[in-house]
Amino acid sequence: MLNSTRRAVLSVGIAGWLSACTGLRPLPGPNPISLLEQRVGGLIGVMMRDPVSGRMLAWREHERFAHCSSFKLSLAAWVLDGARRGLWLAEERLRWTQDMLMSNSPATTAALAEGLTMVELARAVVVFSDNTAANVLLRRMGGPEGMTAWWRSIGDNTSRLDRFEPDLNRVPAGTLLDTTTPAAMALTVEKLVSGAVLHSEAKALLTGWMVESQTGLRRIRAGLPAGWIAGDKTGTALNSENTTYADLAFAGPSGAPPLIMAMWYEPAEASQELWPAAEEVLAECARIFIAG
């Protein structure tokens, strides 16, 4: 679990967030996510916003949570952005060795002999959350420091990456390593899926990969109305330092500007096994916002 030292509040408060996202207004009444947190135990961090109506629902939005694999959404976007800028070729083929393969690496395991292009690896990190693909891309593109620098270049001054997989999933008490906040990441997700960070073709690729991914079907997407179009990128850490469930998503009816959601849940008790009830907490957060 992240302790109070690591849960540093950003120097800009809620007023800064609201001014940066003109027109946002909190839902009235007691915060329903606070009530949900009291009921299920542990800690919930969310930022959910409707850029059209201005509705938002936030709780612990400026507290830090571990990225886990949710950083891979930004990693894939960085691949596409860098290719457009001529920093590398999307079709550049990268290779790795048997000893570099990690758990949960289906795409890179299958392609050990021939390797994959950078754009194929970018798809693998979003669709399959392929851990080896993430490390191969990071090593080619400048490492965790490069990932952090890219966030800064698009205006995210909060998110940071410090280590490779799998170390980034263990966030020691008293550090800010490999963390972000719901407020910062919701704004970054909006920039990636709806803003000007990526050109239209790259946005279509990225959002298509998010829709194709199956890792979050029991999280935010389980709380959405039938027929909505949605895509997401999950993150999960199951260890004694920080048992964490994360999900970053866009969602909405066909043709409508999407809702943006960034959510984390840290159960009160650490576990090394996936807990479906913890995933359901994220689905319930989505239901609460949509119903409000």
- Residue 284 and residue 261 in contact, taking contact as beta carbons nearer than 8 Å: no
Question: Which amino acid is located at 156 in the chain?
Answer: D
Res 153 pLDDT > 90: yes
Residue 33 domain-assigned (yes or no): yes
Whole-angstrom CA distances from 28 to 17, 49, 106 are 18, 14, 45
Residue 1 domain-assigned (yes or no): no
Q: Where is average pLDDT lowest: 22-26, 147-151, 238-242, 243-247?
A: 22-26
Distance between CA atoms of 256 and 28, rounded to whole angstroms?
24
User: What sign does the dihedral 237-243-247-248 (CA atoms) show?
Assistant: negative
How many residues are recorded in the chain? 292
Q: Where is average pLDDT lowest: 11-25, 86-100, 159-173, 204-218?
A: 11-25
In this predicted model, which residue has the larger pLDDT, 289 or 17? 289
Res 134 pLDDT > 60: yes
Confidence band for 73, pLDDT divided at 50, 70 and 90 = very high
What is the predicted pLDDT for the residue at 28?
Answer: 66
Residue 24 domain-assigned (yes or no): yes
Kindly report the CATH number assigned to the domain that includes residue 32: 3.40.710.10
Structure tokens at 227: 């027929």
Distance between CA atoms of 153 and 196, rounded to whole angstroms?
13
Q: What integer best gives the mean pLDDT of the chain?
A: 92
pTM as predicted:
0.91
Number of structural domains, the chain? 1
Res 16 pLDDT > 80: no
Mean pLDDT of the region 42-64: 96
Residue 4 domain-assigned (yes or no): no
Q: Where is average pLDDT lowest: 22-31, 66-75, 101-110, 209-218?
A: 22-31
- Residue 236 and residue 246 in contact, taking contact as beta carbons nearer than 8 Å: yes
Whole-angstrom CA distances from 129 to 25, 41, 97 are 34, 28, 19
Residue 7 domain-assigned (yes or no): no
What is the predicted pLDDT for the residue at 137?
Answer: 99
Question: Which amino acid is located at 19 in the chain?
Answer: S
What is the predicted pLDDT for the residue at 232?
Answer: 98
Catalytic residues: 69, 165
Confidence band for 24, pLDDT divided at 50, 70 and 90 = low
Confidence band for 65, pLDDT divided at 50, 70 and 90 = very high
Mean pLDDT of the region 161-182: 96
What is the predicted pLDDT for the residue at 33?
Answer: 98
Mean pLDDT of the region 141-146: 98
- Residue 58 and residue 26 in contact, taking contact as beta carbons nearer than 8 Å: yes
Residue 121 domain-assigned (yes or no): yes
Res 94 pLDDT > 80: yes
Residue 28 domain-assigned (yes or no): yes
Burial 53-82 (b: 16+ CB within 10 A, else e): eebbbbbbbbbbbbbbbbbbbbbbbbbbbb
Residue 9 domain-assigned (yes or no): no
Angle (deg, nearest 10), helices 182-193 and 200-212: 120
Res 175 pLDDT > 60: yes
Domain hosting residue 206, numbered range: 14-291
Distance between CA atoms of 65 and 7, rounded to whole angstroms?
8
